[in-house]
Structure 1
């Protein structure tokens, strides 16, 4: 179990600082942390190298308090440029784009109706209970005829799990 030392408590990847009776958060790094990631000259796909910087920038943006964010971003830039040999332009562009995308991300759209085609089987098909289903869907009864499927005009909005 972790204990508080010098008003700081490490919790998962977060360093929680409780100085001046105000909680601030930053990225926690273990004492054995070496700032080593994939070297820029290694034989990995360029997208993998950019993704590592983008993921760490996203983590920094999510975890850090606003007053410590720039300090952590500067640490990331130093880590990738100085210790991992990445070009300064690539690192700065990747981090800047990642932080801007976090701010400008639009809300997720509402899920659309799911269409379910089921064969009509007389009274059994009439027993479909929309109240037992969880997501909105359109239920379409179809007739299977020789040479293909013919859809009936009856469509009901039902809910599926």
Structure 2
């Protein structure tokens, strides 16, 4: 049987679908990675029966929708039976799900019915109570869902350091000439500074700027003043504002207050002159976040790994 694809003997995969080339046709089947654990939500877990049954329905639906031949469908259904039994599912539950899907005549154009007119409710599962409550709510016209509870692993440390980065807000970048630029960002400041640096590099490759060129105000400033240099190592956050709308307003207020010469506009909000006495009362963020010198890194140092390596070396020397 000939096959095609790169790195896969039986053929290429597209969205968990294995494509196998035969003599006169292409066969489709469900693809599972070699390291697939065959672990699913166990039937004896403390979850609503609907949640556990949905695991069986999702696997069976995928088998009917993906399998292109009776042989592939039978092989996948046999696999589903073995795997679900291994996860504690009763044989009668599995057979019931498969029988219902066969009788429903599920096809490639199958799509679940969505009842948008019903209000949604999410209830925690409490054995003996939730079933009665959900039955009464369903009769009242509610669509009831039962989310899975938290697992033990969700309470445990992942073994990785949290990536520390500057909070979003309004920042200020000085130039060697003494002028400054004020902007805002919803991302870490390092990312935004790298974008400014890339914009300057791209701008300096031009011999003449056009109106449609989308370069930053800093890039225009350096293009017009080649002897100047942007002091990225002195860039700092002057206000921490995580909310987008408030951030846009604060940027306009800081521009009105400091009147940075490099800025080409007054921000996304117009601040009337009558507010000028109030803008001078704005408090600048006390704890400044200077841009680190050296190459820009988008990854934090794995301090846990470094400390562990140091301890191992110390033990080896003893």
The answer to whether the superposition gives a TM-score over 0.5 is yes
Q: 2:28 aligns with which of 14, 20, 25?
A: 25
TM-score, normalised via structure 1 length: 0.58
Task: Return 5+ residue gaps in structure 2 as ranges.
Answer: 112-318
Distance 1:26 1:63, change over 3 A: same
Structure 1's 10 and 89: CA in aligned 2 closer, same or farther, altered over 3 A?
same
**SS of aligned partner of 2:23:** helix
Aligned pairs (5 A) from 1:9-158: 9-67=12-70, 68-81=72-85, 83-103=86-106
Q: Once structures 1 and 2 are overlaid, which stretch shifts more, 91-100 or 26-35?
A: 91-100
RMSD: 2.2
1:67-101, CA deviations, whole angstroms, 9 ceiling, x for partnerless residues? 311111111111101x2011101111112212322
Question: Mean alpha-carbon deviation: is it higher for 24-33 or for 94-103?
Answer: 94-103
What SS does the corresponding residue of 1:16 show, helix, strand or coil? strand
Alignment partners' CA distance in 1, 2:46 and 2:106: 33
**Shift in alpha-carbon separation, 1:7–1:80, aligned structure 2, 3 A:** closer
> Residues of 2 paired with 1:14 and 1:46: CA distance?
29
State the 1:20 CA deviation.
Answer: 2.3
Tell me how far apart the structure 2 counterparts of residues 101 and 50 of structure 1 sit (CA, whole Å). Answer: 17
Shift of 1:7: 4.1
Determine the C-alpha separation between the residues in 2 that align with 1:99 and 1:34: 27
Q: Assess if the C-alpha contact under 8 Å between 1:3 and 1:9 holds in 2.
A: yes
Q: Cα–Cα, structure 1 residues 20 and 4, in superposed 2: closer, same or farther, change >3 Å?
A: farther
Contact 1:26–1:65 (CA under 8 A) maintained in structure 2: yes
Count of matched residue positions in the alignment of Structure 1 and Structure 2: 104
8 Å CA contact 2:61–2:101 kept in 1: the answer is yes
Looking at structure 1, the residues matched to 63 and 47 of structure 2 have their Cα atoms a distance apart, in angstroms, of 24
- Structure 2 contact 28–68 (Cα < 8 Å) conserved: yes
What's the counterpart of residue 142 of structure 1? none
Q: Secondary structure at the match of 2:12?
A: strand
Cα distance per residue 1:86-124 (max 9 Å; x no partner): 1101111112212322349xx99xxxxxxxxxxxxxxxx
Is 2:8 aligned against 1:5?
A: yes
Q: Distance in 1 between matches of 2:60 and 2:10?
A: 26
Question: For residues 6 and 89 of structure 1, do their structure 2 counterparts lie closer, same or farther at Cα, with a shift above 3 Å needed?
Answer: same
Aligned pair in 2 of structure 1 residues 52, 102: CA closer, same or farther (>3 Å)?
farther
Deviation at 1:4, TM superposition (A): 5.5
Shift of 1:29: 0.6
Q: Which has the higher strand share?
A: 1
